[in-house]
Chains A and B, each alone.
Chain A
Amino acid sequence: MLTGLLRKLANAVLLLFAVLVLNFALIHIAPGDPVEALVGEMGGATPELIAELRESFGLDQPLYVQIGHYLGRVLQGDLGYSTYYDQPVTHLIAERIGPTLLLVTVALLWAIVIGTILGVFSAQRRNSWISHLVTVLSLAGFSAPVFWIGIMLILLLSVAYPILPISGMTSTETATSTIGYILDVAHHLVLPALTLGLIYLAFYSRLSRTSMLEVLETDYVRTARAKGLPKRLVIYKHALRNAVLPVVTFAGLQFGQVISGAVLVETVFAWPGLGTLAFESILRRDTPTLLGILFFSALMVVVMNLLTDVIYRRIDPRIKAT
């Protein structure tokens, strides 16, 4: 098992390397560079100044030299210097990662827990109202754009019934105590977490319903019933643990991806996370920042995959053997 994990780790490092090179190459193929964006904001500059700026960012070098330099710096834990924010990229990411992780974790957690419960219930009673609710919910969740859901929720819960703040993570008046601060953040968190979670709720209720329906038909569930176990044990002990396996897989994979998924929600709610930073760095052609965020996302995906693997092994003993 340990060698398996080590091999996975080696693969992960290779994968990250590939992500770095490809991202770097892709962004440089795209038209426009940070200097053009900067000059645009400055309202124009002389060709000499432009050339000087290019040189100072290392943009005058051939692409492979630039990639080499970049990789070398990344290996030392340096993701470069933001051309727009005038700060180290690692610093920017460190500043923004907290809010994003908070948002994504809360959104995914409530969606997975409620989604699984809904899925399990609806699988047991295929024609009940709860089953139809899950179908409608997942259809709506899948088809409605996330920014639209966000705006609708703002209209409902911040405008029509102003119980929740429209945007941001904290109120302008600074909280006096730690508890006050936590409550303030929680208050601001509700709407974005609700919005982001709704898409995942649709997904997880559907997934766990399908998975549960499948598991309820298996021979071992029939065995559990034939043994005379009470229904509660048949469902929650024998069926659920097997049905939850795909949920764990997807949750792990998605947690890595939601950082990119959170871009829209963070933008709608002006949530000061990585998503907004990514959005802004794209607009400003802030290549180092964008590259840093992309690298960081890839890192998250890889770490979550490894973690999922570990959790999976704990739930399903068959995997340890292979």
Chain B
Amino acid sequence: MTSSSPLLSVRDLEISFRTGGREIPVVRDLSFDLSAGETLGIVGESGCGKSITALSLIGLVPSPPGRVSKGQILLNGEDIVTAGEDRLTRIRGNEISMVFQEPMTSLNPVYTVGEQIAETARAHFGSSRAEAWDRAIEMLKLVGIPSPEQRAHNYPHQLSGGMRQRVMIAIALVCEPKVLIADEPTTALDVTVQAQIFDLFRELQRKIKAAIILITHDIGVVAQMCDRVMVMYAGRKIEEGPVRSFIRDPRHPYTRGLISCIPKLSRDPSDTPEPLFEIPGVVPSPADLAELKGCAFAPRCNRAINECQLHSPALTPLGSDRAVACLRQEEIPA
């Protein structure tokens, strides 16, 4: 962490969705901080609340049926949850931007990529058309698109997936935001392109000095990119800490499971490959969770004891910079 007061501070966030006359929380008791220049990884299986948390940070929780039902999201001390639509419009893309998972569908098919970058600059800086267009070309160059002057006139369908994601990143960074949220930015891309995109993130972070929230379920990406990691399970934070200790010494049984799931490459082809590890079961649905008293992971946990079914474990600090929510974390061998 580089400064004492965080750039973005999420406090006791709860996000709920109304279904069948009931309001069901999908994210609960979520608190975390993000400092300037830092990269925070949010890790978890599909459906654990990562993406909806990210959307809440720019006030885009689909409403109805969803809403932020509790808590605060403070950007430099200003609460985004209570901010009006006008203020949010000025924050989005300008102070906090987002790169989405699906580069193939996230760009508007009927406008050129240059226009889609330029209009963001026009909306936030009030730049003239010519200025904004120049800025768009500059951004395309920055994200490593060859012959940007020509490419700016291309429509999304004329670009490859990797190129489109670069364009999305250019859109996200055109106003030099303080926070960049990347929601599984490379899931839809080839592995070789993935590496290029992450190199690009690192390079741009150095240039623009933005803080990055990287949402992923790829532990390898986390190890490469992040300073700190937060693990989410069923809408809650269950473990948080610096990336090094997260990989070397995961405390929560779920985190250990996630790390064990990474396939190991054997050097000797004559070795019998180890069977792939999997965590049994699936993430419980938010509706089931509402009924659940104990730890949400207990039904899938190989270390669960009776106690786990009865109490939901609180997030407990572990040393100066880690925290974990497991009743048995002290008993788990390092």
Q: Hey, which bits of chain A sit against chain B, CB under 8 A?
A: 218-220, 222-231, 233, 237-238, 241-242, 315-318, 321
Contact = CB atoms under 8 A, between A and B. Distances in A.
A242 B155 CA distance: 14
A223 B171 contact: yes
Contact of B91 (A228, A231, A237, A316): A228
Contacts of A318: 109, 155, 157
Interface string B157-181: 1100000000010010001000000
Nearest to A218: B105
Contacts of A225: 60, 92
Contact of B85 (A226, A229, A231, A237): A231
9 contacts: A222-B60, A223-B108, A228-B91, A228-B124, A229-B89, A229-B93, A231-B89, A318-B109, A321-B157
Nearest to B157: A318
Interface string B91-108: 111100110101001111
B119 interface: yes
Task: Specify which of A220, A237, A321 lies most central, judged by the most chain B CB atoms within 10 Å of its CB.
Answer: A220
Contacts of A223: 100, 106-108, 168, 171
Nearest to B109: A318
A220 B107 contact: yes
Given A222-B60, A222-B100, A242-B110, A228 B93 contact: yes
A213 to B, nearest CB: 13
B255 interface: no
A226 B110 contact: no
Given A225-B92, A241-B110, A230 B155 contact: no
Given A225-B92, A241-B110, 6 more contacts: A223-B168, A224-B108, A226-B93, A227-B92, A227-B119, A228-B93
Contacts of A230: 89, 123
Given A222-B60, A226-B93, A228-B120, A316 B109 contact: yes
Given A229-B120, A321-B157, A222 B89 contact: no
Contact of A233 (B106, B109, B123): B123
B110 A317 contact: yes
Task: Specify which of B85, B105, B108, B111 lies most central, judged by the most chain A CB atoms within 10 Å of its CB.
Answer: B108
B143 interface: no
A316 B155 CA distance: 10
Contacts of B123: 227-230, 233
Nearest to A315: B110
Interface string B105-131: 111111100000001100110000000
A231 to B, nearest CB: 7
B58 interface: yes
B155 to A, nearest CB: 4
Contacts of A315: 110
Contacts of A228: 88-94, 120, 123-124, 175
A237 B89 CA distance: 16
A233 B119 contact: yes
User: What are the 10 closest A-B residue pairs judged by CB atoms, nearest first?
Assistant: A228-B93, A228-B92, A227-B93, A219-B105, A220-B108, A317-B155, A219-B106, A227-B120, A226-B98, A223-B106
